[in-house]
Structure 1
Amino acid sequence: MSAGRRPFGSVRAKTSLGATAVVAVALVAAGIAVLLSLRANLTDQADRQADSTARDVALDIASQVPARTSYADLELPATEEHPVQVVTEEGRLLVAGEDLERISGTGVPAVRVVRSPPSQPSAEPGDDSGGDDDSGDDHGGHGRGSDDPAIGEIGEIKDRSSGSATVDGRTGDYRFATIAVTDTAGQTVVVHAGASLAARDTAVGTTAVAMLLGLPVLLLVVGGVTWLVTRRALRPVEGIRREMAAITASEDLSRRVPEPAAHDEVARLARTTNETLTALEAAVDRQRRFVADASHELRSPIASLRTQLEVGDAYPELLDVPGAVADTVRLQQLAADLLLLARLDAGERPGRTPLDLGALVREEVSQRTSDRIPVTVETGQGIEVAGSRGQLARVLGNLLDNAQRHARGSVEVSVHRADDGQVVLAVTDDGSGVPEAERERIFERFVRLDDARSRDDGGAGLGLAIARDITERHNGTLTVANSPSGGARFALRLPPAPSF
């Protein structure tokens, strides 16, 4: 498979892998949270069971021992589910669940009762022959503390812990609850009762296995669905890519990419691509026309100059030196115009130096000594704009050259500030004017009206195009309208220079 067709380098593959990875992380986090929550809930349930068992045993002790039975005869719940220890406050075991072989987590590891020697009668529960009670207990108690329950009553659950127990050879995990109780003889004992955690461990284990087995299947489903959805969503993009590749190969800019009917990002991309192709096609066509027109305009003075030089070489007395000089000047001016247009097309930006537009007009007009018709100047004082002096002087010169070609006897230049604050430079002549249908076309490159072409003394049709390009780069506008005298009025509008 070629490098350009690598499956894991596509947007579809990356999207599918990314979505699968995100879902995997989310599911793992959610699974861990579920397992922890399930474990905590089942642990709480085991705590409640241990609490209930401890209270039941304590109630039996409070009501039966030693009035009707002894600790050895106390009935305890099934040891496998609820291992129980009854110990003294000093930790001596009094009774433990049947078949209990080992226990941890209660603080009392003993599981078998060790009887007191006969010489210690006070160790037997309920024996009140141990002499005077210095504690002053009216109920015959055995040194109960102030926090111990009253005779025949049980206390509150005072401790919970985790541990393990071995019953009949089987070891399991348990939760233990601890409660104090005072029997009818006044002896306070402690009950440790447990609840099995086997149900918790089984439920958590089963849930974990189910999640581990279901996670890959779910991730495969997510990845597959994402792959299919992404492929469907990106199908128009592939169509756009193929069409763009075909356009590039054929160099046919008239072709357009398919536009999806949906109103989504891909459809907007297709529309933008077609708009770009339209602009590119127009730019290429404009460039081709420019090259063709420039070649035509350059061919005429070069051919004329060559002919005159060849005639002069063969017949020196027939050499038209003034004509050769005129053709050379025309060729030089055309080359300068083409270079300026190339710089403008390349994005050359004018400077932002403040300058007095009225002073510029007066200076430029005073230097035009060879004009056919005198130019009348009317300008205000202190009317400043920001821009390139050389480029703005070129605009004025081109407008005056155009007016000189078409005026019958009057050319006027004025500079004033409009009501909206814009600076207006107007060049007016009394010629035949510009037809309304042609007022935009004359600003195109190499465009000359028929009557202008017949009277043109060497212009290539670039002056007005250059003037508008320069104006637009100064954030201004250049328009043409009829003058009061019937000729043309070119109005250059520029923003005023910012005040600092």
Structure 2
Amino acid sequence: MRRLFGSVRARATLAATLVVAVALVAAGAAVLLSLRSNLLGQAGTQAERTARSVATDLAVGKRYDELSLDGDEEPVQVVDANGTLVAVSEDLERISGTDTDAVKPQPSASASAGDDADDDADDHESALEPGEIDDRTTFTNGSATIDGERADYRFAAVRVEVEGKGQLTVHAGAPLSAEQGAVRTAQTVMLIGFPLLLGVVAGVTWLVTRRALRPVEGIRGEMAAITASEDLARRVPVPDTHDEVARLARTTNETLAALETSVERQRRFVADASHELRSPIASLRTQLEVGVAHRGLLDLEGAVEDTVRLQRLAADLLLLARLDAGERPADARFDLGALAREEAAQRKGVTPDTVDTVEVAGSRGQLERLLANLLDNAQRHARSAVTVSVRRNRDHAVLEVADDGDGVPEEDRERVFERFVRLDAARSRDDGGAGLGLAIARDVAVRHGGTLTVRNAPAGGALFELRLPMVSSER
């Protein structure tokens, strides 16, 4: 059961069926109430018409035995002010719901006595003139047995003032069999039709939902196959629609493409890192083995140089690993211009040019590493001069490092920021770098909410531009 209702299709079918069921029950109850009210009103109108007809006959002076009270399904009672039954329809055997349950007429008391009794009973109501019929009608529900057949009735009571007889009340009934029959028929139709309609709704919802979710099942199946095969080059099918399922499929394929790129990048990173680590380790091992065998031939300076290179490479790889893990930079505030001046002062051939005081927020250590990598790259490729500048540009701090070398070809201006990428010209001038400096600089810039790009410098060579959000002085 849990597995059945764990599916979207089953839950959608159940929800749609329940909603329709509630709507049908509410609509059915409203229809039945409206039908019963209308039919009850019709019966009341019929009963009132009969009662007023008899009251009219009494008002014009007809005797009790002259009244037309022989309706087969319309029981009529005429009651005087004392509650005595003075006239009744034929074949009436039992009655309830009126002022009296008597079915046999009795002799009427005197009119004066009747008037006194009426005054005592209805002293709050205005008296009627002789021959006048009250405009008000009182309705009640009851039952009557006529000629051995019992039925429910809607009774109407009308008062009339008759000269010499006082105030009389005419009770006339209209059968409720039509109302009851109509209500029973409507109930029967609902009891039979509602379950059938709910079955149709459930079936249609089940089929429509299955058709709508078929592409989702295709996506799920393909994702399961991709997981089993570990083939990230595969893609899920995209339905020929423009609905949410199609957008889900396209987003899934975009996610798979990004995952494939990330995994491929990781594989290349591991392969390149292994290759870069192999060279200094092999060189260091060779020198140490030679030193063990021939102590006089040990190249200590070369061993130290390889060790330093290995240490730098390990530090670069560790920093990249932290950046890839999503490490958030510190939220310290510092002057980017002061950092640039300090770094330039420690290097020969680096000239500060228009270094303004600009506050930024982030990790001073990481941004110091970024600037050092840019300056290292510029000094390797410069012919004679490297300049560094810091300025404001609206709400951004802009740091520029320029050299007078050969520059970066336009087609390679994004590739230079990839990991372990060294252009041919750069490789010939490389002093041992592994091609990670610019990649680290780009990642640090992105982690600080900034950008790092390269273009041609005004005096020739390459110009690397770092843009970072500037900290407001009111912060």
Task: With the length of structure 2 as denominator, give the TM-score of the two structures.
Answer: 0.94
Separation (CA, whole Å) in 2 of partners of 1:215 and 1:205: 15
Are 1:355 and 2:334 matched, yes or no? yes
Q: 1:295, 1:21 → 2: CA distance?
A: 63
Distance 1:361 1:110, change over 3 A: same
1:394 aligns with: 369
Deviations 1:101-122 (A, max 9, x none): 2211112121112336xxxxxx
TM-score by length of 1: 0.89
Deviation at 1:269, TM superposition (A): 0.7
Q: Which residue identity is paired with 1:270?
A: A
The equivalent of 2:143 in structure 1 is: 164
Q: Deviations over 1:265-319 (max 9, x none)?
A: 1111111111111111111111111111011011111111111111111111111
Identity %: 65
Does the alignment pair 1:298 with 2:277?
yes
* Alignment partner of 1:62 out of 59, 62, 69: 59
2:189 aligned residue (210, 213, 222): 210
Note the residue ranges of structure 2 that are not aligned, 5 or more in a row: none
Quick one: distance in 2 between partners of 1:328 and 1:104? 116
8 Å CA contact retained: 1:379, 1:415: yes
What one-letter code is carried by the residue in structure 1 that aligns with 2:65? Answer: A
Instruction: Return 212-221 or 95-104, whichever deviates more.
Output: 95-104
Please say if 1:174 is aligned against 2:153: yes
1:428 is the counterpart of 2:428: no
1:332 aligns with 2:311: yes
Residue of structure 2 equivalent to 1:38 = 35
Per the alignment, residue 103 of structure 2 pairs with: 111
Q: How far, CA to CA, are the matches of 1:197 and 1:390 in structure 2?
A: 95
CA contact (8 A) 2:341 2:355 kept: no
Encode CA deviations 1:438-459: one digit per residue, 9 max, x unaligned. Answer: 1110000000011211221110
In structure 2, C-alpha distance between the alignment counterparts of 1:152 and 1:374, rounded to whole Å:
130
Residue pair 1:144, 1:187 contacting (<8 A) in 2 also: no
Quick one: which of 14, 20, 23 aligns to 2:20? 23
Partner of 2:8: 11
- On the 8 A contact 1:54/1:193 being kept in 2, the answer is yes
Gap runs ≥5 in structure 1 = 117-122, 136-142
User: Per-residue deviation at 1:378?
Assistant: 2.6
Aligned partner of 1:265: which letter?
Answer: E
Aligned residue for 1:424, secondary structure, equals: strand
Distance in 1 between residues matched to 2:146 and 2:291, nearest whole Å: 131
Aligned counterpart for 1:85 among listed residues 64, 77, 99:
77
Query: What is the one-letter code of the residue matched to 1:109?
Result: D
1:415 alignment partner in structure 2: 390
Aligned to 1:477: 451
Distance 1:158 1:434 in 2: 105
Distance 2:15 2:391 in 1: 65
Shift of 1:376: 1.0
- Cα RMSD over matched residues? 2.3
Using the TM superposition, give the Cα deviation of residue 134 of structure 1 relative to its aligned residue in structure 2, in angstroms.
12
- 1:162-204 CA-partner distances (Å, limit 9, x unpaired): 1111222222211111111122435221111111111111110
User: Which residue is 1:139 aligned to?
Assistant: none
Give 3-state SS (helix, strand or coil) of 1:9's partner: coil
Q: Which range moved further: 384-393 or 221-230?
A: 384-393
Structure 1 residue 474: deviation in Å? 1.5
Structure 1 runs of 4+ off > 4 angstroms? 143-146
**Contact 2:344–2:388 at 8 Å: present in 1 too?**
no
Answering whether residue 395 of structure 2 is matched by residue 403 of structure 1, we say no
CA separation of 1:187 and 1:354: change in aligned 2, threshold 3 A? same
SS at 2:194's partner residue? helix
Do structure 1's residue 438 and structure 2's residue 435 form an aligned pair? no
